[in-house]
Structure 1
């Protein structure tokens, strides 16, 4: 399929996991992808590999906690590629701690990476998306729909992303810009693999953190959902929360 032929997509968190899979998926479907990540070396390697397949990938090192840099990156994308059709906010971080051990600095870091960056990039991108009738796909989480133990900051940040997405969808539906969220559960990515169980955790509470199925989702499966929501096939979908969690939130 070439659903994104002639389209320009901006993808954050593109060096690994869901961001990398989305960069590859959109590129293979014909998009010019402007990919960003804080891990400049890994991003450059992955982008070069995809460019070797003939995909149109540009990459830029970006710390999404830097507001000025985020706004400049959107401006650079439009200046270099001429427009912006799709914004995919995928960069994020996890924090698993006993609530008593979550510092104000921890809280601020999670909210800045996971939530404020989404706000800043959506705001910077919106004038360009209004010009193209484009759309936004934000990565929320099943943890934005359902409380998980030892994840207070993460749940709060992802719940905020979901409601930010719905608010923007309502505000801009009549102006031709769609905004949707994807809510993955457990996905086989470095972010999930690096999660550490906090000291003294009640293991009986962990049952709700895993899917009913005996396996985790693959990043490519989530990227497929992102691509669908970003494509013209989903032209009547806005303000949605597409849950991909193996049944985690079904119980």
Structure 2
């Protein structure tokens, strides 16, 4: 069982979905949490639920804002370290997906996708690494099955997730001498608010979205969709001492779906 008592974990995009599940997982294992999100109401609710897991409310710091803003990124790192005195784990989870044909994407959609999915993890890691060096901590990037596997109607998203996978491995190599580990968790289909929004854009009707979910589950060898808890368990493992000899890993957590895709 992973033990994060006394360790400080910063999770981006923590107000829903995978970020919410990850925050709750680390809370159950005693971590001190710094959580970012743009939805103050939802982030406050997640923080309250984390406190209900048994950690003191004072061991949770929430940061409301847009991670594409340089001042907010800097303040998030500085305020986290000022509050807790250290940083042990950075989970780069915040992400964005505009479904649709690649040639139909606008320049704005392209920029927003690449900014949040690649540029933000890069720049936030730059800010976090000096503190992670002091604790011999680690980074866990949240990528996607589609960073490695081609899928239609998601070309720009695929590109935006392939880049962090390469970044994970390059950074792992660079930081290994400093005993800072860097890994990636690449989920398959997980039903989250992000997935529901994607489905509504492509299909619009609840019954069509349900059919999409069923098709995704049937296409997965283990026969079901993933859950935020499935992904959080993998993140927790990579962030823990149990994975002290693991770095540069791209861990597919997808129910075996990658085995069925070309």
TM-score, structure 1 normalization: 0.93
SS at match of 1:48: helix
2:65 is equivalent to residue 62 of structure 1: yes
Measure how far apart 1:113 and its partner are: 1.1
**8 A contact 1:5–1:31 mirrored in 2:** yes
Task: Determine the structure 1 residue equivalent to 2:102.
Answer: 99
**Candidates 133, 136, 154, aligned match of 2:136:** 133
Gaps of at least 5 residues in structure 1 are 200-206
Q: Residue deviations 1:162-221, cap 9 Å, x none?
A: 11111100001111100000000001211112213279xxxxxxx899523331000011
SS at match of 1:194: helix
CA distance in structure 1 between the partners assigned to 2:220 and 2:31 by the alignment: 32
Task: Determine the structure 1 residue equivalent to 2:19.
Answer: 19
2:189 is equivalent to residue 186 of structure 1: yes
2:242 is equivalent to residue 233 of structure 1: yes
The residue correspondences of 1:1-251 to structure 2 (distance < 5 A) are 1=1, 3-55=3-55, 56-195=59-198, 196-197=201-202, 210-251=219-260
**8 A contact 1:2–1:28 mirrored in 2:** no
CA distance in structure 1 between the partners assigned to 2:92 and 2:220 by the alignment: 24
CA distance in structure 2 between the partners assigned to 1:33 and 1:154 by the alignment: 29
**8 A contact 1:96–1:198 mirrored in 2:** no
**8 A contact 1:2–1:30 mirrored in 2:** no
Higher mean displacement: 111-120 or 208-217: 208-217
Q: Residue deviations 1:12-64, cap 9 Å, x none?
A: 11111110111111111111011111111110122123223432322110211
Please list every run of at least 4 consecutive aligned residues from structure 1 whose deviation after the TM superposition is greater than 4 angstroms.
Answer: 207-210
Measure how far apart 1:68 and its partner are: 2.1
TM-score, structure 2 normalization: 0.89
SS at match of 1:3: coil
SS at match of 2:202: coil
**8 A contact 2:18–2:231 mirrored in 1:** yes
Measure how far apart 1:158 and its partner are: 0.6
**8 A contact 2:24–2:53 mirrored in 1:** no
Count of matched residue pairs: 244
CA distance in structure 1 between the partners assigned to 2:88 and 2:159 by the alignment: 29
Gaps of at least 5 residues in structure 2 are 205-214
